[in-house]
């Protein structure tokens, strides 16, 4: 939910974050910079914060008025929670049929699991992601970034914008049901198509690809690097680069399908050859021949990459407590213009009076 709102705010939407008097729990998540959460800041830039106590009649009335003044309502409670406050889609849509209402949840608004809660890790487990992540002989691991959380936010933002386009055309709103489980299955086309096509469950392959090789991380003299030479043309260029034309003549490696089938043997042969090179040398060789390759970067390394600097994806920001820090901005460009931070992440309730005044509620 917060990431969905952040994406919309980055594109210029006036996003109002409604918080309880205690504030969003994410405000307490580390790392804390003089008491302000850097993580909270990263997904709440460009928003305004309003504090409303939904257990108080005046606060609940203000929340309803605020929702009905909006084009879009986004919520990520368990199904049924918003109905307890009369802030659910069915109730609000009776007074505003054009309202776009987006519900983000673990499993969806209906069905046998609808009432269950979920976090990124549990959804990675449930969705099959952990069954294909990690080395083949290792224990189950999740993806290192919270892909279930953020993919659901991406689907939600895309759905909101699409629904708004429809609403402005015909005047009818929609209730958007975006689930983390559905989002995980939605991006698993490679794995689900493998199952549908063969009847076999995909398995963990480490960094390798089930249908392409060489397409993985490989060891060389001083570390690891990533190589993606999945087409015949790229495979030929890679073999020529390391002076191993004999590999092109090996019948086991004569096509992408065969290379994928025999990728364990292929990997051993390649790493024997790569042992004569450093990472930097191999990257130079393959880049010169147009073969996609990359270092295995840490975040400090990728953030220092000249492409990141060129695209201006890192921006200096000042937190409400006066601390100066940095954040990653929305990475796309619009007509060549970057999407930066035009409103710092808010202090709790920073805009309550301002927003309530805008909707005709006088502060007391």
Q: Which residues are catalytic?
A: 149
Query: Rounded to an integer, what is the distance from CA 348 to the centroid of its chain?
Result: 25
Determine the 3-state secondary structure of 217 from DSSP: strand
What whole-number distance in Å separates Cα of residue 185 and Cα of residue 198? 18
Q: Token pair for residue 324?
A: 């100066």
Q: Any idea which residue has 């400090």 for tokens? A: 300
Q: Token pair for residue 307?
A: 């492409």
As a whole number of Å, the CA-based R_g of the chain is: 25
Q: Any idea which residue has 């307890």 for tokens? A: 84
DSSP states along 2-13: HHHHHHHHHTT-
Using alpha carbons, select from 74, 69, 65, 21 the residue that is nearest to residue 47. 74
Burial of 252 (0-12, 13-18, 19+ CB in 10 A): middle
- Largest interatomic CA distance in the chain: 82
Q: What is the dihedral of CA 18, 23, 28, 31, to 10 degrees?
A: 40
């Amino acid at each position: 939910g917060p990431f969905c709102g952040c994406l919309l705010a980055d594109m210029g939407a006036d996003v109002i974050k409604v918080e309880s008097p205690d504030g969003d729990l994410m405000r307490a998540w580390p790392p804390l910079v003089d008491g302000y959460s850097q993580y909270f800041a990263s997904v709440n830039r460009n928003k305004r914060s309003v504090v409303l106590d939904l257990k108080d009649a005046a606060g609940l009335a203000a929340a309803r008025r605020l929702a009905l003044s909006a084009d879009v309502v986004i919520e990520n409670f368990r199904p049924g929670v918003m109905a307890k406050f009369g802030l659910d889609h069915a109730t609000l849509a009776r007074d505003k049929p054009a309202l776009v209402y987006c519900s983000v949840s673990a499993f969806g608004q209906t069905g046998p699991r609808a009432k269950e809660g979920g976090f990124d890790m549990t959804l990675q487990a449930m969705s099959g992601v952990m069954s294909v992540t990690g080395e083949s002989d290792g224990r189950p691991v999740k993806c290192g970034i919270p892909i279930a959380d953020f993919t659901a936010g991406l689907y939600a933002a895309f759905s909101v914008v699409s629904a708004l386009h429809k609403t402005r055309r015909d005047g009818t709103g929609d209730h958007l049901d975006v689930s983390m489980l559905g989002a995980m299955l939605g991006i698993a086309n490679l794995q689900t198509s493998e199952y549908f096509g063969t009847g076999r469950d995909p398995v963990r392959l480490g960094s390798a690809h089930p249908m392409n090789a060489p397409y993985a991380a490989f060891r060389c003299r001083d570390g690891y690097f990533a190589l993606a030479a999945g087409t015949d043309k790229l495979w030929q260029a890679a073999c020529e680069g390391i002076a191993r034309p004999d590999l092109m003549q090996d019948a086991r490696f004569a096509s992408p399908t065969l290379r994928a089938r025999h990728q364990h043997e292929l990997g051993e042969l390649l790493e024997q050859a790569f042992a004569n090179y450093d990472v930097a040398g191999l990257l130079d060789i393959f880049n010169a021949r147009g073969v996609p390759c990359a270092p295995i970067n840490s975040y400090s390394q990728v953030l220092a990459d000249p492409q990141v600097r060129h695209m201006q994806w890192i921006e200096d920001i000042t937190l409400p407590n006066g601390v100066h820090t940095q954040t990653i901005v929305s990475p796309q460009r619009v007509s060549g213009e970057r999407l930066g931070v035009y409103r710092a992440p808010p202090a709790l309730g920073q805009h309550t009076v301002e927003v309530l005044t805008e909707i005709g509620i006088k502060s007391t």
